Amino acid sequence: MSGFSFTLSATDGRARSGVIRTPRGEIRTPAFMPVGTAGTVKAMLPESVRATGADILLGNTYHLMLRPGAERIARLGGLHRFMNWSRPILTDSGGFQVMSLSELRKLTEEGVTFSSHVDGSRHFLSPETSMEIQRLLGSDIVMAFDECPALPATHERQAEAMRLSMRWAQRSRDAFGDRPGHALFGIMQGGVERDLREESAAALRRIGFDGYAIGGLAVGEGQEAMLSVLDYATHLLPAEQPRYLMGVGKPDDIVGAVQRGVDMMDCVLPSRSGRTGQAWTRRGQINIKNARHADDPRPLDETCTCPACTGYSRAYLHHVFRAGEMISGMLLTWHNLHYYQQIMQQMREAIAAGTLEDWVAGFHAERAGGDIEPL
Ligand SMILES: [Zn+2]
């Protein structure tokens, strides 16, 4: 009895809907996970994030270990209590951020030594230390420690990084041990190289995990390349466990991934866009700083039930963005997260009804007919 389970309730083509059960609550899939990098989904209260329909948040090991520190969070009762979010939390392993954000990195078989981008202090991350930090945080879904090479990367470099990640996956599995109610996910690597993806999936399946992530995508390869990897990558993973596509994405990326059998995704995009004046809607993207909105009494989307759309005009949102008021980021982030969760809810319902293909056609038709603006 692990206290963690995944039940598939419906399939439609390759798309799946189901429920992940954890001691901290259920996660309806396909699920979108808002990113709470440093113990907060920026500009949102936890209850507001929940009100958008989120069942689970993502926290970043790299950011939290550097500031305020995993031991401090553990002493204060764990990440859930610290950030006032009682539902499930997935933490990444720190592997991706240490490669993209830290300085003076030294990568060895053992792990990565690096300098903090915050204060320059030296730290060490390895499969064992990453498992320990994620345990101190109290994460419900723990990610194996991996290396995601920067693109462009040669086949040889991708192969080397993937094989190191698979050795680290075994060490992560060994260090994680047996923790009832907590899950450990392995991460498939291999870039856009099919032979490497196959080798990686086979290695992970031999080790055995509670769920399987697809890493190393959404790192600049473009949507077409990403979806063509997903065309075969989800087939390589066990059908009876959740599949998590890391760091994706734009609304149409998410829809394409769900159509290819992905169950979970996370991305900073809806919250980050909200702070830079970008709204995602069913009719495309709205750039609220554009002068054309200055006198527009309409909401962002007249069919949206979020607080930004029920209470405020585009003209007001334009004004508060231009004036640098904090409420601008708050309202646009709320709207974007609400829109993302609406897409997930509608896809879950369409999969259950066996009508996903029609829903996807409508999704694309509505966007094509809308007022999409360039970034
Ligand atoms: Zn809205």
b/e for 29-61, b at 16 or more Cβ within 10 A? Answer: bbbbbbbbbbbbbbbbebebbebbbbbbbbbbb
Domains and CATH numbers, the chain: 5-266 (3.20.20.105), 274-368 (no CATH)
3-state secondary structure of 72: helix
Mean pLDDT score across all residues of the chain: 96
Provide the pLDDT for residue 150.
Answer: 82
| d(CA 334, ligand 1 centre) in Å | 7
Residue 22's pLDDT band (cuts 50, 70, 90): very high
Count of residues for the chain? 375
- The answer to whether 286 and 278 are in contact (CB under 8 A) is yes
d(CA 152, CA 246): 18
| d(CA 307, ligand 1 centre) in Å | 7
pLDDT in tens, 192-202: 999 999 999 99
Q: Does 69 appear as a known binding residue?
A: no
d(CA 20, CA 40): 23
Q: Does 253 appear as a known binding residue?
A: no
CA of residue 140 relative to chain centroid, distance: 15
Contacts of 295 (CB under 8 A, 6+ apart): 315
From the list 298, 284, 288, 283, the residue with the least C-alpha distance to 333 is: 288
What is the mean pLDDT of the segment spanning 11-33?
98
3-state secondary structure of 69: coil
Element (H, E) at 5: strand 5-12
Q: Which two tokens stand for residue 150?
A: 């920067």
Q: Does 231 appear as a known binding residue?
A: no
| d(CA 361, ligand 1 centre) in Å | 22
Q: Is this model's pTM higher than 0.95 or not?
A: yes
| d(CA 166, ligand 1 centre) in Å | 42
pLDDT in tens, 189-238: 999 999 999 999 999 999 999 999 999 999 989 999 999 999 999 999 99
pLDDT in tens, 57-113: 999 999 999 999 999 999 999 999 999 999 999 999 999 989 888 888 899 999 999
| d(CA 275, ligand 1 centre) in Å | 15
Q: Does 95 appear as a known binding residue?
A: yes
Q: Does 311 appear as a known binding residue?
A: no
Sign of CA dihedral 31, 34, 39, 45: negative
Q: Does 304 appear as a known binding residue?
A: yes
Give the active site residues.
Answer: 92, 266
| d(CA 95, ligand 1 centre) in Å | 34
